[in-house]
Structure 1
Amino acid sequence: MTTSPKAPATAVNLNSWRWGFTPQAESWNGRFAMLGFVAALLTEYLSGQGVLHFYNLVQTVTTVVK
């Protein structure tokens, strides 16, 4: 049984931008998800309301009890 030699993983290989379902794509997806999550938390903290309410995508429902 012959095995092909594998190239060592380097920072250039792991962080390069490639299309498709690759380990590099999953790394970039995780990085962008973390940035989006932090942006949502900052929006909520600085505005005092949720992200959907901040962009007026959800209206507040108020109940009047008599």
Structure 2
Amino acid sequence: MTDNIPAESKNLTAPIEPSFGWNTYAELVNGRFAMVGFVVLLGLEFFTGQDLWTWLGLR
């Protein structure tokens, strides 16, 4: 089946390149690190049976 949408109206974006400051790339990388950190904390709780505060000695 053919696509009747002209090429100019399609949402074509260039790849995101690293740059300095507050930008889309920095937010993307920050979000990915946050997701990895969250999964690591879930793994820590699962394998040790303690939450983060207990593991750090704050409880």
Distance 1:30 1:42 in 2: 19
TM-score normalised according to structure 2 size: 0.70
Gaps of 5+ in 2: 1-12
Larger Rg: 1
Partner amino acid, structure 2, of 1:32: F
RMSD of Structure 2 on Structure 1 (CA):
1.3
Distance 2:33 2:24 in 1: 14
Per-residue CA distance 1:10-33 (angstroms, 9 max, x = gap): 2xxx2x432210000000000000
* 1-structure distance, mates of 2:38, 2:19: 23
Structure 1 length as normaliser, TM-score? 0.63
Distance 1:47 1:17 in 2: 37
Match of 1:9 in 2: 14
- The AA in structure 1 aligned to 2:14 is A
- Runs of 5+ consecutive residues of structure 1 not aligned to the other structure: 1-7, 60-66
Alignment: residue pair count: 47
> Could you say which residue in structure 1 is the equivalent of 2:36?
35
Q: 1:51 Cα deviation (Å)?
A: 1.0
